């Protein structure tokens, strides 16, 4: 069975931003089927809308399904996994600058804070999330202005995620000039079984 990778972009992001085009090409060159959807209303992401859209994109998840999310895309994947029926397993997930908390710098306006509030406050059932895979990798930057480095411990303790910390990569955004990220490719390949 061909492995499928779904790349979920960030808040106010898009499929052609940052490392996504490079990552998609690298994975396709290795025989993966790659989906890089434009998430709905990216300037005002809502949990219900994004999780439902991801469900529609994935269809029936299975062991050949790998999810890759950047920032709020990582949150979307966590909440998607939480919503799956008990017997559904996926191959694994990679979280790039995934967050549970945000620094004050993440909000340019009061509206931003309002958009983020449900994502920051809505309960997550970590046991339920973890039950859908035993392969999680979380990649953080030691200079991320938005994601507190202490969130590393949450991904580690709640999911048993393998942690990778990059130096000086800010929020891994296209606006930071980051167009390639070998650790992101390595993480997907590791989950896929080193293909």
> pLDDT tens for residues 145-185?
999 999 999 999 999 999 999 999 999 998 889 999 999 99
Q: Evaluate if residue 143 carries a pLDDT over 50.
A: yes
- The pLDDT assigned to 176 comes to 87
Q: Evaluate if residue 195 carries a pLDDT over 70.
A: no
- The pLDDT assigned to 93 comes to 98
What Rg value do the Cα atoms of the chain yield, rounded?
15
Which pTM does this prediction carry?
0.97
- For 4-192, the fitting CATH number among 3.40.50.1820, 3.30.450.40, 2.30.29.30, 1.10.10.10 is 3.40.50.1820
- State mean pLDDT over 53-76: 98
- The pLDDT assigned to 1 comes to 79
Determine whether 88 is exposed, middle or buried from the number of CB atoms within 10 Å of its CB (0-12, 13-18, 19+).
Answer: middle
Give the largest CA-CA distance in the chain: 47
User: What are the φ/ψ torsions at residue 84 (nearest 5 degrees)?
Assistant: -75, 155
How far apart (Å, rounded) are the C-alpha atoms in residues 188 and 90?
13
Average pLDDT, the chain: 96
The ranges assigned to domains in the chain are 4-192
Query: Considering only CA atoms, which of 121, 42, 54, 44 is closest in space to residue 93?
Result: 54
Report the share of the chain in percent with pLDDT over 90. Answer: 96
How far apart (Å, rounded) are the C-alpha atoms in residues 193 and 164?
18
């Amino acid at each position: 069975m061909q492995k499928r990778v779904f790349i979920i972009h960030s808040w106010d992001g898009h499929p052609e931003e940052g490392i996504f085009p490079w990552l998609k090409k690298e994975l396709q060159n290795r025989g993966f089927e790659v989906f890089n959807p434009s998430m709905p209303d990216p300037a005002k992401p809502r949990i219900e809308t994004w999780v439902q859209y991801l469900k529609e994109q994935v269809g029936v998840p299975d062991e050949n399904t790998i999810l890759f999310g950047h920032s709020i895309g990582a949150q979307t994947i966590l909440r998607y996994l939480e919503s799956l029926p008990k017997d559904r397993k996926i191959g694994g997930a990679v979280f790039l600058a995934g967050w549970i908390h945000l620094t004050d710098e993440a909000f340019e306006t009061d509206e931003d804070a309002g958009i983020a509030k449900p994502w920051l406050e809505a309960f997550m059932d970590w046991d339920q999330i973890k039950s859908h895979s035993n392969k999680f990798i979380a990649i953080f930057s030691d200079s991320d202005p938005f994601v507190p480095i202490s969130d590393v411990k949450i991904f580690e303790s709640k999911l048993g995620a393998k942690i990778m910390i990059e130096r000086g990569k800010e929020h891994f955004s296209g606006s930071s000039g980051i167009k390639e990220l070998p650790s992101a490719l390595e993480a997907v390949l590791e989950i896929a079984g080193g293909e």
